[in-house]
Structures are given as structure tokens and as C-alpha cells.
Amino acid sequence: MSWLEDELHEQPAALARLIERQRENARRVAELLAAEDVRYVLIASRGSSSNAARYAQYLLGRAHRVPVMFATPSLYTIYEQPPRLDGAAVVGISQSGASPDVASVLAEARRQGRPTVALTNEPDSPLAREADAVLLLEAGPERAVAATKTYSNSLGAIAMIFAAVDGPEAESELERMPDVLAEQIALSLDSAPPLDEYAGLVGATVVGRGVNYGTAFEIALKIRELSGLVVEAYSPADLMHGPIAAIQPGWPVVLVAPSGPARPSVEDVVLPLQGRGARLLAVSDVGAVLRRAHTRLPLVPHVPEWLSPLTAVVPGQVTAMRLARLRGLDVDRPAGLNKVTLTR
């Protein structure tokens, strides 16, 4: 078994470990973000961590009712003209904690006297050293280049911060997620449809919205980094504002559409895409959505929507791994990529 598949299977245990060990740190972070002088949250991240940050935009925005936005690291590094951060709480998300540009955003925030938070798997990393509060991901060593358990635990850490604000019901729902995640992994592996017809594809599109907007980007990234294909992610609204013109007959489109308020808007693009001859792959627990798809990637039902990114990403991880193998590629060592990417 590859490192990637091993680590995919390790996700439920890693999530359970995070929830058990980091509860108090999550509450501390939630209190820091709720401080009276915090008027917005600024997140610095790269790669898969940026996809987790998209999830944070929704959950932290809902929990604290403040804008949540992305930093522009080049202003801090290349241009050396960082913005004023009055009113900001600054969060860095980095699995390795080693990316200089992410750490530089937190370092500047500290110089300006603003509170800083690190979500990282490495307690002694440069990012952790710049943080007033550290929420460790507790994922353990991850050897495969493509992140799986560190990504799911990044989502889990964000969910813990939300639950610390939302209260006991949310905490109880989160406590059940390691078992649900194990069920999803088994379902996605056991029910995986044949993908041979996609072996020769050159690219694909992924569509998601709401809390699963980041899931769409993470699935696109996993397929792209493991198979070298050109895969892009959009919200339904962004897709309809021009990019749909590039969808040609036979083009694969992955719809991330679990139950919840965002699902109808994702389903609204089905007819326009079918009219253009797209091959639809549906990630959903809704029978009506799955029946309209060319390829079905089912989800475990009855997952609260705010936690559905933890399960919705799994069919994408499995699909990305299987597509790479169909193309004869090494899933543990994608060409030209390293586990830790140092960007400035």
C-alpha cells in the first residue's frame, strides 16, 4: 500500500486525536478571535492550507460575525510594504509551518501588536514561534507529498474553533465525525466506480459552494498534483459568469453537492452542463443528484452541512489517487513536487 493510501486511512484516528488533545487550545483561540478590538480575521496560507482557509472564511465568519479575508504575502516580503493591521486577528495555516511568506505575515502582525494564531502540524516551526496561540493539528508524520490527514485535521481544527463558540450541540456533532469519516472512507473505497473512461482526459472542472467551496478547490488540487492534469474549481455563480463557455462535450465536471443550503445552487448548473455534453461526477448524499450524474461518488448521509467538508473531500482524494494510478504515476512522488514548499 502506498503512503498516500495509508495516510488516507489514518484520517479518522488523526481527527480523533486532534479533538481529544486540542480542545482547550481551540477554546483559547476562539476567545482570542472574539476579543473586543478584533474587527476582522486575516488568514495567511498556501496550497491545501488555503483550501482549509476557504472553509474558515465560512465558519469563523459565522462564529464571530466578522469579515474573514486572505492576506497578500507579497506585500510583506517582495514589496516590503505591509498594510496596517488595526483591528485584525491574524491566523496562519501551514501544515509544515515552514513557509517563510506565511510566517512573515504573522511576524508583521506581532510587530504591530495584533493577536496571532498558528494552525500547524509542527510545534517548533517558524510559524508556531510567531503565534500567540498555537492549535496543533496532531496529524502525525505525513510522508506522501499530497496532503490528506493534515488537510482533514486543518478542517477539524477550524471546526473545533467554531464549536467552541457555537456550543455543546456543535461539539457533540464534531465528536462523532471520526467514526463518520471512517465510514466515508470505507464507502468511497468500496463503491468506487470504474474510472477507465477518464484515464486519457487532459483536464476537468470542479464545482462547489458555501462551506464546500474549499472542498472543490482541494479536490481540483489533489487531481492536479497527482495526475498533472489541468483542473480548475469554481462556485456555480463564477462558472456561469463565463468559464462555462469552455465546457465541451465529454468534459468531466465534478459537482460537490452534499445536503444543505448550498446544494440547490450547485444543482442548478446540472442542466446547463448537460446541455453542453459534460460528463458529470456527483459527490453527494442526495439520491436525485446522484441519479442525474454520469459517475456517482456517494456520501454518507445525515452529516451536518457545516461538517460535510470532512467527508466530501474523501471521494475526491480516492478519485485523484485512482486516476493517477490509471495513468501509471507514482502517487507518493508526484513529478516535480516536494512535501514542503518554501515560498517567499
The CATH number that domain 3-175 falls under is 3.40.50.10490
DSSP-derived secondary structure letter, 307: G
Q: In whole angstroms, what is the distance from residue 134 CA to residue 125 CA? A: 11
Tell me: domain 182-326, CATH 3.40.50.10490, correct? Answer: yes
Note whether 34 and 136 are within 8 A (CB).
no
Which amino acid does the sequence have at 227? S
The pLDDT assigned to 340 comes to 67
Helix (H, G, I), strand (E, B) or coil at 256: strand
Asked if residue 128 lies in contact with residue 137, where contact means CB atoms within 8 angstroms, the answer is no
Residues of the chain with CATH 3.40.50.10490: 3-175, 182-326
How many CB atoms lie under 10 A from the CB of residue 88? Answer: 23
pLDDT at residue number 342: 64
Low-confidence ranges of the chain (pLDDT < 70): 338-342, 344
Q: What is the pLDDT of residue 337?
A: 74
- Separation of alpha carbons 57 and 206, rounded Å: 19
Task: Determine the pLDDT at residue 343.
Answer: 74
What is the CB-side half-sphere exposure of residue 215 using CA atoms within 13 A? 30
Give the pLDDT score at 339. 60
Who contacts 81 (Cβ-Cβ below 8 Å, separation ≥6)? 75
Active-site hit among 168, 335, 339, 341: 339
pLDDT in tens, 34-71: 999 999 999 999 999 999 999 999 999 999 899 999 99
What pLDDT is stored for residue 128 in this prediction? 98
Beta-strand pair 279-284/295-298:
parallel
Query: Has 339 been annotated as catalytic?
Result: yes
